[in-house]
């Protein structure tokens, strides 16, 4: 049996707490970016003549010509600081996971605390990759940072309090090389689908047209494209996780599929996300109907993560709490 290193475990916990604080500060900075980017809209409006023909073409709120540029510049600086702080937090987060694994000599995703931390890490890294690869049409994507970090902060807070588990060896049922493959794939897909679910939820928020916050979000087409592309990337990984889970189940329990609650809920999530991708490519289902399906899929993932693991008894009851 591998000896546990209490020192490394305590350093991992310290890095975890530091990560949570950094994510929280980054989220606050993103909220400040929203506040700094707001342009007051007075009752009066100025008409700006179009170039070349002298006709009155565009309505611009009075005073916005002098205020909007400085506000945008200040908002961009705050936004860049928030993204940089998020990147720093992701590095500290990675060190927390690495130290947790080194403390016990195993992969750091064997219980609910570790699995939730891994999901959040994947979500943040995936979000940073999206920001790095964005093009000019998606220049407003950094404004989503607060919405992406909000569920991350909530999940990590729950992980560090309600779901926390001391560093310990693997239980015999999990002592298999499949934990490196199956659980890693499940955590990766879950983290990417978190970003997809947030994008679809914001798309629906903007489609309602009744919330002022929607006017600061990227265009609906950008949100829809982000939700779709991340789901397209994540679904094959989730499929791989289900397949490898079935192979592991046959090796451990002598059957590939037994309709255990965890297995059933994972399959339901797969069907919902497959339905979302199909709806997104089907005329008449694009837009809000497809976005609602994606949000339902994210809800199924959360149900699978918390309710199935904690409340329902089954062969996959490895929450560690």
**What 3-state class would DSSP assign to 244?**
helix
Q: Pick from 39, 17, 125: which is nearest to 25 by CA?
A: 17
- pLDDT averaged over the chain? 83
Q: 246-279 pLDDT, tens per residue?
A: 999 888 888 888 888 888 999 999 999 999 999 9
pTM: 0.84
Give the pLDDT score at 208.
Answer: 65
Helix-helix angle 261-280:288-305, to 10 degrees? 160
Nearest CA to 235 out of 289, 180, 272 is that of 272
CA proximity to 171, closest of 308, 317, 16, 13: 317
Q: Using one digit for the tens of pLDDT, what is the confidence trace for 124-139?
A: 999 999 988 876 545 5
Q: What percent of the chain is predicted at pLDDT more than 70?
A: 80
- Going from the C-alpha of 234 to that of each of 87, 105, 252, 273, 274, the distances in angstroms are 22, 28, 26, 10, 11
What are the tens digits of pLDDT across the range 108-127?
A: 998 899 999 999 999 999 99
pLDDT of residue 59: 42
Residue 292, pLDDT score: 95
When pLDDT is cut at 50, 70 and 90, the band that residue 43 belongs to is very low
Strand 56-61 and strand 45-49: pairing?
antiparallel
Which H/E stretch holds residue 248?
helix 220-253
Q: What is the enclosing helix (H) or strand (E) of 210?
A: none
- Give the pLDDT confidence score for residue 214 in this predicted structure: 64
pLDDT band at 18 (very low <50, low <70, confident <90, very high): very high
Where is 49: in which H helix or E strand? Answer: strand 45-49
Encode pLDDT of 199-257 as tens digits.
999 998 877 665 666 666 778 888 999 999 999 999 999 999 999 999 998 888 888 88
């Amino acid at each position: 049996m591998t000896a546990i290193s209490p020192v490394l475990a305590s350093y991992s916990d310290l890095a975890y707490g530091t990560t949570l604080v950094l994510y929280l500060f980054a989220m606050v900075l993103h909220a400040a970016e929203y506040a700094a980017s707001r342009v007051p809209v007075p009752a009066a409006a100025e008409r700006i003549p179009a170039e070349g023909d002298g006709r009155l073409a565009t309505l611009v709120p009075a005073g916005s010509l002098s205020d909007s540029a400085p506000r945008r510049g200040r908002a961009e600086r705050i936004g860049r600081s928030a993204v940089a702080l998020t990147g720093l937090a992701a590095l500290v987060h990675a060190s927390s996971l690495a130290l947790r694994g080194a403390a016990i000599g195993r992969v750091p995703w064997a219980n609910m605390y570790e699995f939730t931390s891994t999901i959040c890490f994947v979500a943040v890294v995936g979000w940073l990759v999206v920001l790095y690869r964005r093009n000019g049409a998606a220049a407003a994507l950094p404004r989503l940072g607060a919405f992406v970090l909000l569920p991350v902060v909530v999940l990590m807070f729950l992980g560090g309090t309600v779901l926390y588990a001391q560093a310990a060896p693997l239980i015999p049922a999990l002592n298999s090389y499949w934990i490196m493959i199956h659980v890693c794939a499940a955590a990766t897909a879950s983290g990417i689908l978190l970003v997809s679910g947030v994008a679809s939820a914001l798309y629906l928020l903007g489609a309602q047209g009744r919330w002022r916050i929607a006017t600061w979000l990227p265009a609906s087409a950008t949100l829809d494209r982000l939700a779709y592309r991340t789901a397209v990337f994540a679904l094959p990984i989730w499929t791989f996780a289900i397949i490898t889970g079935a192979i592991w189940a046959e090796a451990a329990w002598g059957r590939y599929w037994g309709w255990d609650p965890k297995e059933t809920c994972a399959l339901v999530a797969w069907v919902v996300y497959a339905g979302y991708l199909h709806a997104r490519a089907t005329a008449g289902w694009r837009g809000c109907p497809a976005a609602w399906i994606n949000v339902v899929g994210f809800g199924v993932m959360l149900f699978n993560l918390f309710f199935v693991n904690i409340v329902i008894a089954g062969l996959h009851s490895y929450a560690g709490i």
